[in-house]
Amino acid sequence: MLSRFHILYVLVLLLLQLFNTGVLAQTLTQTSQQKQQLIARYGLLETKDSTCNKTLRKLKIKNTCSILNSNLFNAYAFTEGSIMITKGLLQKTHNVHQLAHILAHEQAHLVLKHHHQLSGFMSKPPLFFPKRKRKKLRYQQELEADQWANQRLKTYQFMPQQIHHLWKRLLQQGQPPQTDHPSLKQRIDTSLLREEEMIDNGWITKNNKL
Ligand SMILES: [Zn+2]
């Protein structure tokens, strides 16, 4: 009886493992497809030695960033470990601190394994209020990523407060809110960062390459 139980237990474990690997593989395929679709639709800009990659190196983030030739404002962290931002986002960031925050935020999603957490949730959704709970999880992940980014920026002598200027500008311009993200106002209120006096009037760096 004991050994039968043992076999059953091993079998259940194996099944669980298979199931988890399956979910992960599915997530990887989905994000890879999503990435390829975006590239096929907008195309990539030449990013060798870009400000984006230089900023990642200054943040000691071992990752590369590619730039999508799109005027939309978006940043992506793909499960296989790459970061992609849009040209539109780069044009709206006014200094390297703001860009650093966005990149660190995307890296945080990868480091904190937010995709896996989310796919785990989706594979076994709770019986009660699944939509509301999913939304809560996404909010929590976004705020966690902001906190991780704040810390990373401070460690490598960037000014995390600068991201508030960008968020406020987007808020004034009526940037459409993403439904599964906390509102920009919520993000500002939660970060509770002291506002920097530095003026947000464009890139300080000359010869700024995309
Ligand atoms: Zn995010």
pLDDT, one tens digit per residue, over 119-147 is 888 888 888 888 899 999 998 999 999 99
Tell me how far apart the alpha carbons of residues 69 and 198 are, in angstroms, rounded to a whole number.
30
**Token pair in block for residue 73:** 């404002």
Q: What was the pLDDT predicted at 17? A: 47
Expressed in angstroms and rounded, the spacing between residue 199 Cα and the centre of ligand 1 is 25
Q: What's the number of CA atoms in the CB half-sphere (13 Å) around residue 84?
A: 23
Instruction: Point out the residues of the chain with pLDDT beneath 70.
Output: 1-28, 175-181, 191-199, 201-210
Q: pTM to 2 decimals? A: 0.78
Expressed in angstroms and rounded, the spacing between residue 77 Cα and the centre of ligand 1 is 8
Expressed in angstroms and rounded, the spacing between residue 3 Cα and the centre of ligand 1 is 48
CA dihedral of residues 151, 155, 210, 50 (deg, nearest 10)? -130
Helix ranges (DSSP H) in 43-95: 51-58, 87-92
Expressed in angstroms and rounded, the spacing between residue 75 Cα and the centre of ligand 1 is 8
Expressed in angstroms and rounded, the spacing between residue 104 Cα and the centre of ligand 1 is 10
Tell me how far apart the alpha carbons of residues 125 and 101 are, in angstroms, rounded to a whole number.
32
Q: What was the pLDDT predicted at 80? A: 83
**Are the CB atoms for 86 and 74 separated by under 8 Å?**
yes
Q: What was the pLDDT predicted at 1? A: 52
Expressed in angstroms and rounded, the spacing between residue 9 Cα and the centre of ligand 1 is 38
Phi and psi (nearest 5°) for 195?
-75, 135
Expressed in angstroms and rounded, the spacing between residue 111 Cα and the centre of ligand 1 is 12
Q: What was the pLDDT predicted at 125? A: 84
